[in-house]
Amino acid sequence: MSLPIITVEQIRRWEASTWETGKTEAAVIAQVGEIVAQRALELTQPGDAILLLAGKGHNGDDVRAMVNHLPDRDVSLLSVTDPAKSIKKLPLDLDPRPALVVDGLFGIGLNRVLDADWMQVIAQLNARQLRVLSVDVPSGVDAGTGEIQGAAIRAEETLTLGAPKTGLLATTAADYVGRLRVAPEIGLLPRRETSELQLCQAEDFHGFPPPRPAGGHKGTFGHVGIMAGSLGYHGAAVLAARGAARAQPGLVTLLTPDDVYVPVASQLQSVMVQPLVPGEITIKSITSLLVGPGLASDRLSDDLKTNTDNMWHESSVLMVVDASALDWLTAGAVPAKSIRVITPHPGEAARLLDATVAEVQADRVEALQALSAKFGNCWVVLKGRHTLVGQAEGSVFANPTGNPALGQGGSGDLLAGYLAGLLAQPQLQSQLGQAIRYAVWQHGAAADALSASSSNWIVEDLANWIGGTKP
């Protein structure tokens, strides 16, 4: 199940309540050592060299507890308590180059700028571009705020303990945390701390989507309507349509302007393609409508923009609005019980809120909630690292999948189509929040799977993978 993203203060209270029961820190450290060692084994091969960097705090103790749980590995333990001495010794420990470095120099207690010697130690490590597994938090990152305390380890992966910490999802920490994994069961009492911000887990989607009824037919699984594409942006329409089809609704119909009709229609087989008539919707019996991908040409009519806004405020049809069409929406209420979703990236969110991108990124949860409130308590998918899903009130969910390779043109169009394809299905509309989170999770998981097998994949490849990952 999803995990609350909690503060350092909450972690401290959780630990204190555990010690009050008589459980010792030593017992928890021993368990953590086994857990981290198991992850180190998964990241390496027999015979590989692993360098353990242990500071003088509890994070160092966690790393020292790993030593006897790394069979068939060439393990070196470097206790770094005097950084001035370590500056001279570290190059020798890094030659030959270890397959993995485990970072346990500093933990969640770090709340001050590191001195020059510590910065130099970290600079030496980062300069080698090593594979680094950080324990709980990358050394040098403030676990509460995500601020960098002068310098910080650049980890390939951070295995955080008990629960994710707020600072690990901060924009400032993104280049240091790497892949964020959580070890929730480390021997503390059952978790009682809560948070409005939650981190999704693969287990959240076990058994989702539910099995399709044996007697179902194309009319059972919904009909997606898509308004997309314009001169110079016809590829966005194709990707959105392919994304929708990958979600396996019963029908997909794409409306696209006359000047791109041929190049769009010629690339699609199972999708029905019709001319887009400004000011009217010619799709019948749709159960979801996506508007926006590739609708960026200055040739588009004002009628199309006005009609989109009118539908947002008046139609009962489920609507997903993406890309340029976001700027066509006006603030205000939407029909009761209607389903509305917007999918902005930080730049689009900033425009909609009359803010800067820096302001959006500084408090992404607040930005999401403000967007939802502005546009009728709609669902918001605020894209970016750890894409957020939520509304003006209630829990906000951060997505753990995905990687920087998603930063390509067309990636968002594919996500919007896949999302609309899922939401078109009546049996999934009753599990709306889960369906939206699932779409985001699958989009990122497909990117992760591709990146594991290829270093230069493109969005067209992603279109063939999305939806195919088992949680």
* pLDDT one-digit tens code per residue, 229-267: 999 999 999 999 999 999 999 999 999 999 999 999 999
Q: Give the whole-angstrom CA distance, residue 59 versus residue 158.
A: 13
Residues in the chain, pLDDT under 50? none
- What's the mean pLDDT when you consider all of the chain? 95
Closest CA to 130 of 62, 31, 43: 43
pLDDT for position 279:
66
Long-range pairs of 461-468 with CB within 8 A, sequence gap ≥ 24: 462/411, 462/414, 463/239, 463/242, 463/243, 463/246, 463/414, 466/243, 466/246, 466/414, 466/418, 466/442, 467/246, 467/247, 467/248, 467/418, 467/442, 468/442
pTM over 0.85: yes
In order of their start, the domains of the chain are 3-193 (3.40.50.10260), 223-465 (3.40.1190.20)
Q: Please state, in angstroms and rounded to a whole number, the distance separating the CA atoms of residues 423 and 341.
A: 10
pLDDT score, position 75: 96
CA separation for the pair 264, 186 (Å, rounded): 53
The pLDDT score that the predictor gives to residue 413 is: 98
Q: What is the pLDDT of residue 394?
A: 96
For residue 4, whether the previous peptide bond is cis, meaning omega lies within 30 degrees of 0, is: no
**Beta carbons of 156 and 175 less than 8 angstroms apart:** no
Report pLDDT for 240.
98
Please choose, from the candidates 295, 287, 364, 283, the residue with its C-alpha nearest in 3D space to the C-alpha of residue 329: 295
- Which residues have C-beta within 8 Å of that of residue 214, sequence separation ≥ 6? none
User: Which ranges constitute the DSSP H helices of 207-333?
Assistant: 234-246, 261-265, 302-314
